[in-house]
Structures are given as structure tokens and as C-alpha cells.
């Protein structure tokens, strides 16, 4: 399978390095703004996007034109950009997720099931720790977990969920979800030690998305959907 990576930052580099160890995957090229994206996409089987929101808009145009599946892990897309992504997903298969970690996908699945089962009698607190360079807080992953819990409990938003954020050192990413009642507490936790986990998840998603019907999928679909 031939892969194009959009974005030459740390994640793009991590995915490219991981591709070197995969016998069934071939790197066609890495796209940066100003390069010939159309030619790269035309030569690919799947496009993996870890660029920036503006770059993602160019990627969406290219994958639509050439009918190529897309794996996108770009966070920070605004409402209009998400609407554009959904328009594209109506025509081609797209895996979009703010966190490509397999462990986080399992965590989200577990949080969703627990929140649905325990109900609103359990207060939910989500805490996260990241490196000092990360500007957004709460993290996209924390919000994703909160949205999963709220949706499972039939709540319109995450207003009933408490979020706590900390920035220190070079921590790649730690997340903890605590569900607590007056009589007991249940804790889920996930820690990242290297960015390779995101690269591995993105490549697993790339293998999975090939041949799928149009639609917007998430990492939970990659792991838990046939």
C-alpha cells in the first residue's frame, strides 16, 4: 500500500520513520505546503494528514479530486473546517481522530461503556498532563473523552464534567478519568511514552480504511468495527 504523508513536522517524521519498518507499506512522499500535492495524492493508495488546519483544507480538496481514502489526525479544526471534512467524508472514507493512539481508543470505549452503565449519579473528572509547549487546554483527547462520557449519559454537552490540565516538562501525554459516587470511585488512566504510538495508530488506520465505504470514522471504528 502506497502512503502519502501530509505534514513534515514531528508527527510526519515519526510516521515516515515507522513506514521504513513496514514491509506492506511504501512511502510515496511527504507533502509540505508549496509542494505538488496533487501528483503525490494521485500516486497514493491512502493519504495520512498530520499537517495544520489550513493544510488539511488543501488535502481534502486533493483526496476528493483523486478519490483517495484519508486518515487525518489534525486537531484544532474549526466548525467550518469540520463541516468541510464531513462533506468530503460523504464521498470518500475518512478516519478522523484527535488522538490516534490505540490505547486511547480502548480508553474511550471503556469510558463510554462505564458512563452509560453508571449513569449520572457518578461525578466525572478528567485530568491531563502535557509538555510545557502544548498551548491548548484541556487537551483534545481530554475533550474527546468528556464528549464520549456525556454522549453515553445522554447529556447535551460536557458541562457536568470537570476538566483539570497541567503543563510541565516534556510529558508526551497523560490522561486520567475518574468516576466517583458517594460510596465508590472508578479510575481509568493512559500514559504515552513516545510519539511512535500515534504513528502506529495512524498506520493501522491506513490499513483499515482501504476499501471502506464513504463515511467519517474514528479510531474506535478501526478497533471495534468490522
State the Cα–Cα distance between residues 191 and 11, nearest whole angstrom. Answer: 18
The catalytic position among 130, 144, 175, 190 is 130
Strand order in the sheet with 185-192: 162-167, 123-130, 173-180, 185-192
**What integer is the mean pLDDT of 174-196?**
95
Helix (H) or strand (E) holding 188: strand 185-192
CB 181 within 8 A of CB 125: no
**What integer is the mean pLDDT of 201-207?**
96
| Buried b or exposed e, range 109-137, using 16+ CB within 10 angstroms | ebbbebbeebeeebebbbbbbbeeebeee
Asked about 66 being catalytic, the answer comes back as no
Average pLDDT of the chain to the nearest whole number: 94
pLDDT(193) > 90: no
pLDDT of residue 172: 86
pLDDT of residue 136: 83
pLDDT digits (tens, 9 = 90+) for 31-53: 998 899 999 999 999 999 999 99
Q: How many residues does the chain have?
A: 226
pLDDT digits (tens, 9 = 90+) for 77-126: 899 999 999 999 999 999 999 889 999 999 999 999 999 999 999 999 99
Phi and psi angles of residue 170, each rounded to the nearest 5 degrees, phi first: -120, 35
The catalytic position among 109, 116, 134, 212 is 134
pLDDT of residue 76: 82
Asked about 116 being catalytic, the answer comes back as no
- Residue 139: CB atoms within 10 A of its CB come to 23
155 versus 172: which is more confidently predicted? 155
Phi and psi angles of residue 40, each rounded to the nearest 5 degrees, phi first: -65, -50
pLDDT of residue 75: 83
State the Cα–Cα distance between residues 189 and 156, nearest whole angstrom. Answer: 25
Amino acid at each position: 500500500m502506497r502512503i502519502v504523508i501530509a505534514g513534515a513536522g514531528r508527527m510526519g517524521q515519526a510516521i515516515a520513520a515507522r513506514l521504513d519498518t513496514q514491509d506492506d507499506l511504501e512511502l510515496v512522499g511527504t507533502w509540505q505546503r508549496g509542494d505538488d500535492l496533487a501528483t503525490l495524492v494521485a500516486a497514493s493508495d491512502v493519504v495520512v494528514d498530520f499537517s495544520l488546519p489550513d493544510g488539511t483544507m488543501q488535502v481534502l480538496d486533493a483526496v476528493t479530486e483523486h478519490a483517495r481514502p484519508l486518515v487525518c489526525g489534525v486537531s484544532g479544526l474549526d466548525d467550518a473546517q469540520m463541516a468541510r471534512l464531513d462533506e468530503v467524508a460523504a464521498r470518500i472514507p475518512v478516519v478522523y481522530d484527535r488522538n490516534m493512539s490505540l490505547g486511547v481508543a480502548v480508553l474511550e470505549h471503556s469510558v463510554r461503556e462505564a458512563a452509560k452503565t453508571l449513569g449520572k449519579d457518578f461525578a466525572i473528572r478528567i485530568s491531563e498532563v502535557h509538555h510545557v509547549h502544548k498551548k491548548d487546554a484541556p487537551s483534545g483527547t481530554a475533550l474527546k473523552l468528556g464528549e464520549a462520557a456525556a454522549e453515553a449519559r445522554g447529556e447535551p454537552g460536557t458541562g457536568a464534567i470537570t476538566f483539570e490540565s497541567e503543563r510541565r516538562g516534556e510529558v508526551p501525554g497523560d490522561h486520567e478519568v475518574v468516576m466517583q459516587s458517594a460510596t465508590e470511585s472508578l479510575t481509568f488512566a493512559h500514559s504515552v511514552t513516545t510519539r511512535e504510538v500515534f504513528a502506529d495508530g495512524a498506520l493501522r488506520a491506513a490499513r483499515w480504511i482501504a476499501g471502506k465505504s464513504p463515511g467519517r470514522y474514528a479510531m474506535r471504528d478501526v478497533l471495534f468495527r468490522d
